[in-house]
Amino acid sequence: MTTTPTVLITGCDIGIGREFARQYHADGWSVIATFRDLANAGDLAEGMGRFQLDVTEPAQFEALKKNIGDTPIDLLVSNAGIGLDIRKLGDLDYDYVRRMLEVNTVGPLRLVDTFRDNVAASRHRRIVAVTSRMGSIALNLSGGHYGYRSSKAGLNAIMHSLAIDLFPRGITVVMIHPGWVDTAGGGAEQAAVPVEESVASMRKFVSRLGSHETGQLFDYKGIPLPW
């Protein structure tokens, strides 16, 4: 008997998370889509699980865990994040820098900590963090974007440690840069990669992941990126 796989995706309000939900649902997966604001769930297909989750709110993690219970999660996609870190030295918004760290770095850690047992109980046992090549120290040749770069570098470091810690449980953890995607956060007018193409490519890569690739950083086509 074939069991329908389940994916939990954060940040389905717009862009990449929303497209992940659409594509996995179209392929027959059981989709648990989470939204910072449930009002944004309106036009997604019926049949998806729709839950509120602001990744900076511990109580909302607890509520979601209570709703899901012990449901096995084959794929956990940590996608929720914020960017648009464009201020320069002398005009930095430190409250926003802290907000980026809380959303982009601490939130994904809490997500994995909350649902690691659900992932371990599944057949596929995969965790994907949507990151950015701007979190790569080796690829930083232009400076700036202090909050965003540090939040994604921190995310990568956390996920690498999680890959080591969760390896004994058979869980594969990877970080994927989605490309410069045509979304509100990616700068739609200049972005090179349509969101549908980015998500389809990431899904194709994730579907063939091997445990030997755990803890690594890739682009959306599965090409390794430097740290």
The answer to whether residue 146 is catalytic is yes
Alpha-carbon span 182 to 192, nearest angstrom: 7
CB 33 within 8 A of CB 50: yes
Percent helix, strand, coil in the chain, to 5, is 45, 15, 40
Closest by CA position to 79, among listed 47, 112, 30: 112
- For residue 33, the SS3 value is strand
The residue annotated as part of the active site, out of 66, 146, 220, 221, is: 146
The answer to whether residue 94 is catalytic is no
The residue annotated as part of the active site, out of 24, 148, 152, 220, is: 152
CB 12 within 8 A of CB 34: yes
**Which residues are marked as active site?**
146, 152
